[in-house]
Amino acid sequence: MAIEMRARTGQSDVFSKCYAYTRVDKARAAGLYPYFIPIEGSEGTVVTIGGESKIMLGSNNYLGLTHDPRVLEAAERVARQYGTGCTGSRFLNGTLDLHLKLEHDLAALVRKEAALVFSTGFQVNLGVISTLIGRGDVVVIDKLDHASIVDGCRLAQGETRRFRHNDMSDLARVLNKDADHGVGRMVVVDGIFSMEGDVANLPEIVPLCKQHRARLMVDEAHSVGVMGEHGGGTAEHFGLSDDVDLLMGTFSKSFASLGGFVAGDRTVISFVQHHARSLIFSAAMPPYAVATVQACLDVLKAEPERRARLWKNAEYLKEGIQAMGYETGPCDSPVIPVIIGDEARTFVFWKELLKDGVFTNPVVAPAVPENTARIRTSVMASHTEELLSRALEVFRRVGKRLGMI
């Protein structure tokens, strides 16, 4: 009735964009809708979809710890001791001794004075960037930075500037723009770019930031637990932990849970702790999730061979995919994209892979640049060579069937 009345009066309707959005319905009608696929069961490297087993090549479970008995036991034990949730924000009643212990250990992992745990990684970037970048400040981001960084910049009251992906001359150009105006600036980059699989050029970014007196924040979501001698991320990998001002990470990948953290100088972390709205006005990370991360962190320290297996698997899958003639771009991580280009063709490819037993993630614009649609694959330490070989055979069979290789 309300819509009919607006139509008669000529009044615009905020729902009109919803009724005009037919893209999903068309994809479903064509049998090519690839998102929100319900998984009925999981063993980590193998999942059940539609009653059939599929090799999982679409998870960020890099260390393969989601089903580790030690991790499961820790989550269950803590849930029985603390309950299933904190029912309040960290600021008020939601801080547990578990949070403080985890923050201490995370700070030690990434070699910073202090760390602060949020309920999601997305909230970390929203809270940190919007809190630190005030009026008159500038935040400089890579054009392929994660959406949470972009949205954090949108919430900030300062100005946002972008530089071409991993292009150091363009970063220098952007930083030179107001070099003599005393403007406060912070550069924010992904450590591993989640859709490209390549790594931020920190050895050149760090000196540029120092030269232009800009702070540096690195999003280690896909690299903490994966890169570095102790799993501290790209900053540790390059020996630059002391030169990066802020490091953030998430728990929904290597740490088999959900949540996120930021680490840096104690004074800066305290300021964020008392000003970040996404922390203060959100329910605290639940106890069992904290226990999961703590258990994963303990395994990370005790079993460095797990990371070695992860990298061995990544090389095996990447070399196998490249040997068939697929384009993977400059990936140098456990994230291995198979770049198709055309969106419709990518969806068909995804469907055929799934039908033949391999779960992957199709990624299209705006998550990636136009005409670079891709199948995003990622490996785990727990994948066996036999499973990866079977997955590669599916890529070969489907690629030939569709005329892609």
The set of catalytic residues is 194, 222, 253
Cα 237 from Cα 219, distance rounded (Å): 14
Name the nearest CA neighbour of 195 among 328, 27, 6, 32.
Answer: 328
Strand-pairing partners, residue 378, are: 335
Q: Are 158 and 138 in contact (CB under 8 A)?
A: yes
Half-sphere exposure of 30 (CA within 13 A, CB side): 14
SS (H, E, C) 297-358: HHHHHHCCHHHHHHHHHHHHHHHHHHHCCCECCCCCCCEEEEEEECHHHHHHHHHHHHHCCE
Give whole-number Cα distances, 183 to 102, 125, 217, 352, in Å: 35, 21, 17, 52
Q: Are 287 and 93 in contact (CB under 8 A)?
A: no
Cβ neighbors of 351 (< 8 A, separation 6 or more) are 31, 32, 34
Listed in order, strand segments (DSSP E) in 87-244 are: 114-118, 138-142, 159-163, 185-190, 215-219
Question: In the block, which residue shows the tokens 């107001």?
Answer: 178
- Residue 366: is the preceding peptide bond cis (ω within 30°)? yes
Give the rounded distance of the alpha carbon of 119 from its chain centre.
Answer: 14
